[in-house]
Structures are given as structure tokens and as C-alpha cells.
Amino acid sequence: REAFFAIPPKSISSEVAGQAVQNAGLTAKTGTPQFSSHVPRGDIVGTSPAIGSRVGKGGTVLLIVSEGARMISVPQVTGQALATAEAALRHAGLTPGQVTSQTSTTIQSGIVISTTPAANASWPQGKPVSLIVSSGQPVPNFVGQQKSVAEQWAQANGVSLNEVADAKSDQPAGTVTAQSVPPNSSFTPHQVITITISNGPQMVNVPNVDGQQISQAEQQLQQAGFQVKVNQVGPLNTVFDYSPSGQAPQGSTITVYVGLPHL
């Protein structure tokens, strides 16, 4: 006569599996345990013969119990090239996982910065180890600097600059006011980065305030868009000189001299 034994497909403990075998009129014995990344420690990985087989009445079924995932010490791979690091992980019995790029001012492109988990941690064999790899030097912040700074960096790093004029900026002429690639971003050789460069503040006619009372002169200059600095050199409140005259950058400072009789 033969007995048919069945164990529910979900993960079950060795005790429950043994009872199921005995209920089928068979003898349960424990075989050599096996590591498993999917079956919890103490549950059944498999049987011999396989579940669902027909066995002679009174026959023996070996229950293979899971020891859980094999734990492996993560090797030290930081400072290595990506391909070398991945090979070292595989050699240790681990699986290389997701690779994320990160800029670095000190580590050259293509070199592993860190792993998750860190080196020497005990890690399940079937669980991937993620790596962070340097994408090299980041793009600097050029805004507020002279365009020559960006031009020198671009030439040194094999990057092309697309220079666009900014006619509305009040920054000094040649100052970078915007860049298409954000600071600290990664870049690739031959990439084109656009920078916007100030044409300088708009030149404005300076009102002639010579001979005016200081309050009137300040008001007129401020309405023209200038800052005013008063240099009092005598007891009177009459402007006897001002500088610069003619034209000056909008928003710049006009110095007025007050206190002496107007000649």
C-alpha cells in the first residue's frame, strides 16, 4: 500500500510538517539543514521525496529545515573602481545592487564612495548590496563671479560654455547672474553649460544739482535712481559740487559737497 502526504504550500515549521507526515502514516526524519534567503529559520525548505509524492506505507520522509539566510561579512570595497568592487562582492557570495552616483571634490569619477551596508557588516547572502559611486568634481557656483572664472573652469574640464547677455542686471559688467546647471551637479565631458552674463548697470544722466539746497539735491538724485552721500565741508546747506557728473551707473552713489558759498 502507498500513502500520499501533503503539506500546505505556505511556509510552516518542522513540527507542523512532521505531524502532517505522521498523519499520513509515514515516519518523519530531519535531513541536513539548508540555508535559504526566502524561508525563515526553522521552517521547511523541502522534503525528500517531494511534497505530494506517494510513499509506501510506513516509509520515511526527510524534512529539510531552513537555517535562514546565509550571513556574509561585507568586504571593504570603498576606494575601488566600480567593476572591481562588484567583482569583490560576487566573490564574497553577495549580490551587487543599485548603483547611485554622487559628486565628490576629493574622489575621482568611477570610484566607490560607500556601500549599504558598510564594510564588515553581516548581510544576508541573497540581499543586494547597494553602492554609491563618485561622478567626480561637481559644477561650481559661478553666480556672482566674473565670467573668466567660469571660462577657466570650462576649459580645464572639457566643458563648453554658452554665454548669454543679461541686459537687465545691475551687477557689474561681466558678472555671471545665472547658470543652466545647478551648483554641485555632476557634468560630462563636452557638455554645454549656459551662463548669463551682466552687461552692467544702465548708465543714467546725473541731474545737475549744483547750487541747490541739500534737501532738494538729495530728492532729485534719488528720483533719478542714485544713492546720495553728503560731504559737509562748511556751515551752509548749499551744494557747491557733486561727483560724478554727466552719466553714472543706475543705483550708484553720487557724492555731493555742501557748506561753501557757490562761486
Give residue for cell 539735491: 217
Q: Pick from 196, 205, 198: which is nearest to 249 by CA?
A: 205
Mean pLDDT, to the nearest integer, of 185-208? Answer: 92
Q: What is residue 218's DSSP assignment?
A: H
> Hey, what amino acid is at 101?
S
Cell of 28: 518523519
Please state, as a whole number, how many other Cβ atoms lie within 10 Å of the Cβ of residue 79. 11
Per-residue pLDDT tens digits for 53-99: 777 777 888 888 888 778 999 999 999 999 999 999 999 999 999 99
Residue 11 — very low, low, confident or very high, per pLDDT cuts 50/70/90?
low
Question: pLDDT (tens digit, 9 = 90+) per residue, 207-225?
Answer: 999 999 999 999 999 999 9
Identify whether the C-beta of residue 94 lies closer than 8 Å to the C-beta of residue 74.
yes
State the Cα–Cα distance between residues 228 and 1, nearest whole angstrom. Answer: 113
How does pLDDT run across 137-177, given as a tens digit for each residue?
999 999 999 999 999 999 999 999 999 999 888 888 999 99
Give the span between the Cα atoms of 158 and 136, in whole angstroms.
13
Closest CA to 186 of 133, 138, 134, 141: 138
pLDDT on residue 206: 95
Strands 60-65 and 44-48: antiparallel
Whole-model pTM: value is 0.57
Query: For residue 225, which of 250, 249, 193 has the smallest C-alpha distance?
Result: 250
The amino acid sitting at 248 is A
User: Which ranges of the chain would DSSP assign to H, the alpha helix?
Assistant: 14-23, 82-91, 147-157, 214-223
Q: Coil, strand or helix: which one is 163?
A: strand
Nearest-angstrom CA–CA distance, 149 and 19:
79
Q: pLDDT band at residue 262, thresholds of 50, 70 and 90? A: low
